[in-house]
Structure 1
Amino acid sequence: MLGRRGSWKLRVGLTICAVFAVVAVLAPFLVHHPNRSGPDGLQPPSLHHLFGTTDIGQDVFKQVLAGTTGSVTIGVVAGALTVALSMLFGVGGAFLGGLWDDAGSLLSNVFLVLPGLPLLIIVTDYVDSRSVLVIALVIAIVSWAGAARVLRSQTLSVRSRDYVDAARVAGESRWRLMLREILPNLMPIIASQFVFGALGAILAEAGLSFLGLGAANGASWGSILFFAQNAQAITLGAWWWFVPPGLCIAILGAALGLINFSIDERINPRLRAAAQAPRRGGKR
């Protein structure tokens, strides 16, 4: 069980993520033309435009709602693909061993040596269609190697434990050993890797969009920041154009960080002991 400190972090993080997930699902039904321009350019927040307008009269509130769908989709898809690739080369390689493990380790080492952001920029620049799903796929392909190394080391540790050896001696098949004995013990780490991958993907997409290589047509928070930067929103004093998407990235990132840290407290004995120490001190 998580301690109270870990519990409140997990509850707060899950609550914030649930709110963004609901907005991401409902936004396509609530906002039909987020990029429609109007006559009221660079208007500050008001009852008619809650987050103000852009230089060509676009409603920033509608753009932020529509961008929530794109950014959350990128985070979820990239996080899931990162976990899938890391499990394929990390868990699969460590469990099967031999040539598969050597090939997976070599490939992950190559991706780890290559600088992440420049590689991401180069790969994205060669992609013709920069849709949300394509951006998520590119981010996952570039960022899976670190998670694969972590899962490989944990799989090697779990594979050598006594209960796994006992199941192997009892005649359990290799797939049954994987599904019944090894994977359940890796689930907290896999969950942590998914959360970390989703957080990294959202931040990476925001960075790509700021460079003009992100999702097109204002489909994410990062692309909103890109258009605001191009229109010199800071110079014009149009803070309402770039602050809302920036705050959304920061708040969702903080929520994912709280979830990830609470999972770390669960799987890391040192962090769990550090979290319990203040409570033991308070009881004395």
Structure 2
Amino acid sequence: MSLTTAPAASSTDDALASEPQRPRRVPAIGKSFAMFRNGKSLTGLAILGVFVVIAVFAPLIAPYDPLEKDFTALRQGPSAAHWLGTTHMGEDVFSQVVYGTRGVLVVGFLAGIIATFVAVLVGVAAGYWSGWKSESLSALTNVFLVIPGLPLIIIVASQYEDPPLILVAGVLAITGWAWGARVLRAQTMSLRNRDFVQAAKANGEKLWRIIAVEMLPNLTAIIASSFVGTVTAAVLGLTTLAFIGVIPITNLNWGTILFWAQQNGAFPDYWWWYVPAGLCIALLGMALSLINFGIDEYVNPRLRSAGERARAMRKKGLAMDGGVTEVRVGQGSAP
């Protein structure tokens, strides 16, 4: 009787088997940023990143001081010396747009941070608690929902000769946190009865740990969407206030550029004076909207599954606009 020996494992297999397995952290990290994987979010983040770079390095990018006057070049169109032309006082429009980016982003992000913090604090507390505490916070949210933001900002700003940007951002945040708190309250009410929250309560976990560890990670996408929406509203509110003349000209931003263009008859002949600032407002709004669309797709399971299915079909070369589904008939079936 012959004995058959099993083939020996190769040295490569032995080396792979003996090598310790490293924990795969990349998928876990990628899952945390899954809301920014699609093309819409990436495009929005890229545009927003360009504006952030311009705001941070404005002194290096702008060729002139934004208020430097050149009386030999009044209302001149774009040229090699002035890329976006000049104003009625010979001020370089490109430099004003670059420096104005800083004020817009500071007010927008500061208002978004303050409003999001208040929305999380009030919304999660109102959703987690029950009884009179929840109803009181819900009534407070409803009151701030109906407060007219623009008239309130005009009244507050008119009390100061030169209102600081933090004051403008604070008023914009006060009038913009209620919508996010409303959504967070509803989502928190659905989470407080989940098994993992009830298990944490049964284990005697403290309230702050239940909210911070068990609930907030499940609300990350909604919080991010609320933040982006508040920043968008704050940017539009700031430029509107500047355009109607509520904010002084010393607070240089895109709205003040449009204000001076309108006051000095730039419409419609001197297009280089008002078109760049208007395009920047539109581009920033589009970038924030694209980021918000990506977050919405991540939050909504139907949108997420539809987006994943569409991307999978595009990779296979299949069209998504076909309205007729081909039905294959077997050989034994009737024609």
Aligned-pair distance for 1:4?
11
Within the candidate set 178, 181, 189, 1:156 is matched to 189
Cα 1:83–1:217 shift into 2, 3 Å? same
Distance in 1, matches of 2:248 and 2:139, equals 31
**How far apart are 1:136 and its partner, in Å?**
1.1
Unaligned runs of 5+ in 1: none
Give the alignment's TM-score, normalised by structure 2: 0.78
Shift of residue 144, structure 1, vs aligned partner: 1.1
Change (3 A) 1:124 1:98: farther
> 1:209 corresponds to which residue?
242
Distance 2:285 2:226 in 1: 14
2:274 to 242, 258, 266: 242
- Calculate percent identity across the aligned residue pairs: 45
From 44, 51, 71, give the equivalent of 1:13: 44
Corresponding position: 1:190 with 2:223 = yes
- C-alpha spacing 1:128/1:85, structure 2 compared with 1 (3 Å): farther
Aligned residue for 1:248, secondary structure, equals helix
Q: How many residues align?
A: 283
- TM-score under structure 1 normalisation? 0.91
User: Contact 1:124/1:138 (CA < 8 Å) preserved in 2?
Assistant: no
* Larger mean Cα displacement after TM superposition, 34-43 or 260-269: 34-43
- What's the counterpart of residue 62 of structure 1? 95
Match of 2:85 among 52, 67, 80: 52
* Structure of greater relative contact order (alpha carbons < 8 Å, 6+ residues apart): 1
Point out where structure 2 has 5 or more consecutive residues left out of the alignment: 1-30, 319-335
Q: Which residue of 1 aligns with 2:126?
A: 93
Once the two structures are overlaid, the 10-residue window that deviates more, 151-160 or 255-264, is: 151-160
Query: Max radius of gyration: which structure?
Result: 2
Partner of 2:328: none
Cα displacement string for residues 91-145 of structure 1 (whole angstroms, at most 9, x for unaligned residues): 1232244444333222211121233333333333344432222211111111111
Greater helix fraction, Structure 1 or Structure 2:
1
Root-mean-square deviation (CA, aligned residues, Å) is 2.2
Compared CA separation, residues 88 and 3, structure 1 to 2 (3 A): closer
TM-aligned CA deviation for residue 87 of structure 1: 1.2
Shift of 1:270: 2.0
Shift of 1:272: 1.5
Counterpart residue identity of residue 242, structure 2: S
Structure 1 CA distance for aligned equivalents of residues 35 and 133 of structure 2:
42
1:199 to 232, 249, 260: 232
CA distance in 1, matches of 2:191, 2:36: 28
Aligned to 1:266: 298
Residue deviations 1:66-99 (CA, integer Å, cap 9, x gap): 1000001111101111101111211123224444
Contact 1:206 1:214 in 2 (8 A): no
Q: Which residue of 1 aligns with 2:288?
A: 256
Q: Partner of 1:129: helix, strand, or coil? A: coil
Amino acid at match of 2:78: P
CA distance in 2, matches of 1:49, 1:27: 16
**How big is the shift at 1:10?**
1.4
Q: Which residue in 1 is equivalent to 2:55?
A: 24
